[in-house]
């Protein structure tokens, strides 16, 4: 092995031969390698990202030594690459490593005996000479040459990308998407990376573009910048933006003259990548995909709302009366009026906070004699919300993705306008969570004959994706809306529900006094350290002892942010160590350690496994031999290869945004002025309404008061409400 200083920043350069590949993920490129030891030194572990690697290959690594708590001393490489060896022995080991298809130890020895250290030159420049050797026919020759060329292409691509400032992990992502065409694609239009490669933003693509000689005032750069600004605004929830806002943001990003930006915008409008609505100062701009989604939602709502009722003309008062008798439910006057409206409306919105009877209205509607015999579909955006809806109504609840029959092979839904859902009535719960893109797909799959009920709490956080469909539909006044405000007797006894409504009105919390147990507590704490200490005590001891709730399945910590001392990442490390820090088999992937009994959350939609963003499970087994992990999601076992663990994260603590659509027996909410950028009324309201039996807020009085008082978010920039007000046609 060879070591030397790599640069003035303290990095070292390390080179040697791979003795063992302890772990390698083809998907992410993450590798743990053991380099063979020389006569005078012990072997060493190298960790980093590489396109491909096999024992016997020579590698070069640039990075630093790190003493890992679990794995000891390691060399963590920022750059890791395979290099061609120069010595006779090194070349033979390289060929014998299995890197080239068809070449094993015996043939490697034959090739080295025939050509010595010229072997690589002959494979690349005179491949026909391979046929001179015994045991190599035309088929094996093709295998060797193609395999050599593939590895050379990977090396060339990685060298090209790294020479333009792209790190190994990102270079590997680019290679995985574009393959052998990567150099040509990136050279032609490096800004494609922002559209095609997850995790690569405009600044990375722009650095590559400038490095390969694309001018700062290039029209290509201007057009890419305009599209990127729209993409960034959509990631904040906006569908459309005023033209002046777009151009101001693009000017800040690109530092370009106004005339170049205007010309670039004109080009994007001409080819249809950007869509304009309105004129002059009222002109707004969309990404094409979001404009189509918004128009699709508006058209779908108008189409469904204007059709005939599937139950025909009925005596509404008699039907409601019979439904009450049949279901043994006694409706309040406001609930009775809501059911009447549902029976006379093809598309209805029901909104309101906790304890106001949204589910009671749905159950009553489904027990109407004329409705009871019709085909009904119940759905919600998340698995937990769908399960809760099914339990409340006594019918099967499904996720929207499952109901629309997502096909992972075509990466599309089977249910659509040409293959609509077979149902007379479709009830959609937690509709406030549904973004404009998913709502468009849902509505397009609903036939004009079906009636639709959209139920949700419009005062909760808006969807993670772009748009604010439920809020826009309500504000448009284009369809009937039932807004429930009356808290019913049983619900009114809950301090959770009382305080949720007080928060929504901007009022201070009711505080509990006395020794008897209640369902809502505020625990005052000063500063992050005291909050962390009290939170750990509450989750690990006080709640389990006083309320009999299991920390694993009964308690969920909800925090406003990911980062910081009170963020989900830091709290997960703390809680995991306290609640599941004993012995047992563990696996470390992507800088996170997992063990049997850990709580985890899915962070992306995985349609093949039918596990979706926000689903929480518990690790039930870890199998080192098969390199896989088993996770239980609501009693269903799902298997993950170790290489797939980048799609999950620890879930002892999760962000409030991730909790949307879910309920937990108990929630614990840390609140500090460190969370100031996130402190908004709808955030704390959403967190409090996630608790079913117990809510405990631990934090600073000032942070709580700020969150309740602050309702300054300007909402999302969309055009759906205006589109719904336009006449059909």
The phi and psi torsions of 312 (rounded to 5 degrees) equal: 70, -165
Distance CA 249, CA 241 (A): 11
Nearest 10 degrees: Cα torsion 107, 110, 114, 116: 80
Distance between CA atoms of 6 and 21, rounded to whole angstroms?
A: 24
**179 annotated binding-site participant:** no
Task: Kindly give the pairing relationship between strand 648-650 and strand 636-641.
Answer: unpaired
* CA dist., res. 710 & res. 712, Å (int): 6
358 is in an annotated binding site: yes
Residues 6+ apart with CB under 8 A from 146: 101
Nearest to 427 by CA among 406, 449, 457, 398: 398
Burial class of residue 9 (count of CB atoms within 10 Å of its CB; 0-12, 13-18, 19+): exposed
- Residue 359, annotated as binding a ligand: yes
Q: What residue ranges in 53-208 does DSSP mark as E strands?
A: 58-68, 72-83
Instruction: Give the DSSP per-residue string, 501-556.
Output: HHHHTTPPPP---SSS--SEEEEE--HHHHHHHHHHHIIIIIHHHHH---TTTTEE
CA distance 728 to 189: 42
**Residues 117, 46: Cα–Cα separation, whole Å:** 28
- Report the C-alpha gap between 209 and 616 in whole angstroms: 41
Angle at Cα 400 formed by Cα 398 and Cα 403, nearest 5°? 65
Joined together, the tokens standing for residue 399 give 């996720």
357: annotated binding-site residue? yes
Q: What residues are designated binding site for ATP?
A: 355-359
Q: What residues are designated binding site?
A: 355-359
């Amino acid at each position: 092995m060879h070591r030397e200083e790599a640069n003035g920043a303290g990095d070292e350069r390390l080179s040697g031969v791979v003795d063992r590949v302890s772990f390698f993920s083809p998907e992410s490129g993450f590798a743990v390698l053991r380099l063979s030891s020389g006569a005078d030194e012990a072997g060493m572990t190298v960790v980093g990202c590489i396109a491909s690697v096999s024992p016997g290959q020579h590698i070069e690594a640039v990075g630093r030594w790190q003493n890992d708590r679990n794995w000891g001393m390691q060399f963590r490489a920022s750059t890791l690459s395979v290099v061609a060896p120069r010595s006779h022995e090194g070349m033979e080991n390289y060929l014998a490593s299995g890197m080239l298809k068809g070449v094993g130890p015996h043939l490697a020895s034959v090739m080295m005996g025939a050509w010595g250290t010229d072997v690589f030159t002959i494979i690349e420049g005179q491949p026909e000479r391979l046929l001179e050797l015994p045991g190599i026919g035309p088929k094996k020759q093709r295998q060797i040459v193609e395999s050599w060329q593939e590895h050379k292409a990977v090396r060339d691509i990685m060298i090209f990308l790294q020479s333009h400032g792209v790190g190994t992990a990102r270079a590997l992502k680019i290679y995985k998407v574009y393959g052998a065409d990567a150099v040509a694609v990136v050279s032609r239009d490096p800004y494609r990376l922002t559209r095609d490669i997850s995790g690569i933003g405009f600044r990375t693509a722009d650095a590559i573009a400038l490095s390969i000689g694309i001018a700062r005032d290039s029209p290509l750069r201007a057009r890419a910048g305009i599209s990127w600004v729209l993409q960034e605004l959509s990631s904040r929830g906006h569908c459309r933006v005023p033209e002046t806002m777009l151009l101001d943001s693009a000017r800040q990003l690109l530092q370009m003259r106004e005339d170049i930006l205007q010309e670039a915008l004109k080009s994007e409008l001409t080819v249809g990548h950007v869509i304009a609505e309105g004129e002059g100062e009222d002109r707004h701009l969309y990404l094409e995909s979001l404009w189509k989604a918004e128009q699709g939602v508006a058209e779908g709502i108008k189409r469904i709302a204007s059709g005939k009722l599937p139950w025909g003309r009925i005596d509404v008062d008699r039907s409601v009366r019979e439904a009450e008798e049949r279901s043994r439910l006694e409706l309040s006057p406001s609930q009775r009026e809501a059911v009447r409206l549902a029976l006379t409306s093809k598309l209805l919105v029901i909104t309101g906070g906790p304890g106001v009877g949204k589910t009671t209205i749905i159950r009553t509607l489904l027990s109407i004699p004329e409705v009871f015999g019709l085909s009904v579909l119940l759905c919600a955006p998340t698995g937990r919300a769908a399960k809760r809806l099914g339990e409340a109504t006594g019918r099967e609840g499904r996720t929207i993705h499952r109901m629309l029959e997502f096909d992972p092979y075509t990466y599309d839904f089977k249910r659509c306008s040409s293959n609509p859902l077979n149902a007379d009535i479709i009830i959609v719960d937690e509709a406030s969570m549904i973004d404009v893109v998913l709502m468009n797909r849902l509505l397009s799959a609903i036939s004009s004959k079906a009636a639709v009920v959209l139920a949700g709490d419009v005062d909760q956080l808006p969807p993670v994706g772009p748009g604010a469909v439920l809020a826009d539909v309500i504000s448009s006044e284009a369809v009937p809306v039932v807004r429930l405000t009356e808290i019913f007797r049983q619900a009114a006894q809950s301090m959770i529900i009382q305080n949720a409504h007080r928060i929504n009105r901007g009022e201070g919390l009711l505080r509990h006094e006395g020794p008897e147990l209640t369902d809502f507590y505020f625990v005052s704490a000063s500063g992050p350290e005291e909050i962390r200490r009290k939170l750990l005590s509450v989750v690990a001891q006080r709640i389990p002892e006083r309320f009999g709730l299991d920390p694993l399945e009964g308690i969920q910590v909800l925090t406003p942010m990911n980062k910081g001392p009170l963020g989900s990442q830091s709290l997960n490390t703390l809680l995991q160590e306290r609640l599941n820090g004993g012995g047992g088999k563990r696996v470390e992937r992507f800088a996170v350690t997992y063990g049997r009994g850990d709580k985890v959350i899915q962070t992306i939609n995985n349609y093949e496994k039918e596990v979706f963003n926000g689903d929480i499970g518990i690790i039930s087994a870890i199998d080192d031999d098969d390199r896989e992990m088993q996770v239980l999601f609501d009693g269903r076992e799902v298997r993950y290869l170790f290489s797939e663990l980048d799609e999950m994260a620890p879930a002892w603590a999760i962000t409030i945004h991730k909790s949307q659509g879910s309920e937990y027996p108990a929630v614990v909410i840390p609140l500090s002025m460190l969370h100031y950028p996130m402190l908004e009324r709808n955030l704390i309201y959403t967190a409090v309404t996630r608790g079913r039996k117990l809510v405990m807020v631990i934090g600073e009085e000032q942070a709580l008061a700020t969150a309740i008082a602050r309702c300054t978010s300007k909402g999302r920039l969309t055009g759906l409400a205006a589109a719904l007000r336009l006449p059909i046609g």
